[in-house]
């Protein structure tokens, strides 16, 4: 079954804009070729420093965004809309189309996604890979819901959970996405976890991932927001979302924290770190640790006044 591959090539500085435009237009898959930090990503994701020369020779000053149209979609209808959006965005780009078999693009990216160790106890392993380890394994494949462990914000949260979870905790994961943070906490020894997300698709994905990892009986996933779904008090609360959402929900968090609890706020770009720190303090949360990785920030808080 042949799909249409619409390839947008842009200078690297326009990569985020091109991806955003493609996401708005596409009903199918999106695949991004970005080799700017190939060596570092290869080490962080796959823990290898030997990379095929073909990859090393890829250009580092451009990014290619591939948008895939299903066989029943008409490129003649989609392309004018896509060009209009790109033109209105003001970026430099070139656009090409070609045919591609569905199996080719659905599986091509798998060679870049491998098992990885996080913290001292965790390993994130894709379902198609055999990985011998004595670590606690979370089986997680890339999917529509955010959170597979490869992004800096998620890995920062996982590293923090690795150090905080001692056993028996009640956990709340706000904006649960793929459910990876709640699943990690449960597999590390937490007693129960609740995941909340406004996106029904994410809730379904999180539930499926929980079943895949054998923690479905201890993980409750709910559609909604913090105000109408969370109840009682929690030992660990995670929010791997964005700065604006963290600032909005922060005033509601202290009442949900049990004595000695920790709130893990991530998904914060470094340019907004000070703003978020100020907002957390104003909400009655006291930052106890700030972690940073590749332009992203994770802030761990206790309730203000706690010893």
pLDDT tens-place string over residues 115-137 = 888 889 999 888 878 888 999 99
Is 156 a residue whose pLDDT tops 80?
yes
Verdict on whether the full-model pTM lies above 0.75: no
Nearest to 186 by CA among 238, 256, 231: 238
Strand 2-11 to strand 62-69: parallel, antiparallel, or no bridges (unpaired)? Answer: antiparallel
- CB atoms under 10 Å from CB of 139, counted, come to 18
Strand 192-197 to strand 170-174: parallel, antiparallel, or no bridges (unpaired)? Answer: parallel
Residue 51 three-state SS: coil
Q: Note whether 12 and 62 are within 8 A (CB).
A: yes
Q: Note whether 185 and 235 are within 8 A (CB).
A: no
Q: Note whether 191 and 199 are within 8 A (CB).
A: no
DSSP letter at 191 equals: S
Average pLDDT, the chain: 82
Look at 292 and 228; give whichever has higher pLDDT. Answer: 292
Q: Note whether 19 and 32 are within 8 A (CB).
A: yes
Question: How far is Cα 174 from Cα 138, in angstroms, rounded to an integer?
Answer: 19
Integer CA distances (angstroms), 100 to 67, 69, 211, 274, in order: 11, 10, 33, 46
Given this model, what pLDDT does residue 47 score? Answer: 44
Q: Note whether 196 and 245 are within 8 A (CB).
A: no
pLDDT digits 0-9 by tens, 62-114: 888 888 777 777 777 777 778 888 888 888 888 888 775 545 545 555 655 67
Q: At what angle do helices 15-25 and 75-89 cross, to 10 degrees?
A: 140
Domains, the chain, in order of start with CATH, read: 2-41+51-111 (3.30.70.120), 143-303 (3.40.50.150)
Entry field: residues in the chain? 307
Number of Cα atoms under 13 Å in the Cβ half of residue 101:
4
> Position of tokens 């500085």?
13
Tokens of 102: 């569905």
């Amino acid at each position: 079954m042949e799909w249409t591959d619409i390839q947008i090539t842009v200078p690297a500085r326009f990569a985020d804009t091109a991806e955003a435009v493609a996401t708005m237009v596409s009903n199918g898959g999106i695949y991004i070729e970005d080799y700017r930090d190939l060596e570092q990503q290869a080490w962080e994701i796959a823990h290898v420093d030997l990379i095929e020369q073909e990859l090393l020779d890829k250009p580092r000053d451009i990014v290619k965004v591939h948008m895939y149209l299903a066989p029943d979609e008409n490129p003649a209808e989609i392309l004018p809309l896509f060009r209009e959006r790109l033109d209105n965005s003001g970026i430099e780009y070139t656009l090409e189309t070609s045919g591609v078999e569905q199996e080719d693009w659905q599986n091509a990216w798998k060679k870049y996604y491998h098992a990885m160790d996080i913290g001292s106890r965790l390993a994130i392993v894709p379902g198609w890979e055999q990985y011998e380890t004595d670590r606690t394994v979370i089986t997680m494949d890339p999917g529509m819901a955010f959170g597979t462990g490869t992004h800096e914000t998620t890995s920062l949260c996982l590293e923090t959970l690795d150090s905080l979870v001692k056993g028996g905790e009640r956990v709340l994961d706000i904006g649960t996405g793929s459910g990876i943070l709640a699943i990690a906490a449960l597999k590390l020894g937490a007693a129960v976890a609740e995941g909340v997300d406004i996106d029904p698709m994410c809730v379904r994905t999180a539930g499926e991932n929980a079943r895949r990892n054998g923690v479905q009986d201890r993980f409750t996933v709910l559609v909604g927001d913090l105000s109408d779904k969370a109840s009682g008090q929690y030992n660990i609360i995670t929010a791997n979302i964005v700065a604006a959402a963290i600032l909005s929900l922060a005033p509601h968090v202290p009442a949900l924290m049990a004595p000695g609890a920790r709130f893990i706020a991530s998904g914060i770009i470094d340019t907004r770190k000070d703003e978020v720190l100020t907002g957390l303090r104003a909400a009655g949360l006291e930052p106890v640790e700030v972690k940073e990785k590749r332009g992203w920030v994770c802030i761990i808080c206790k309730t203000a006044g706690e010893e």
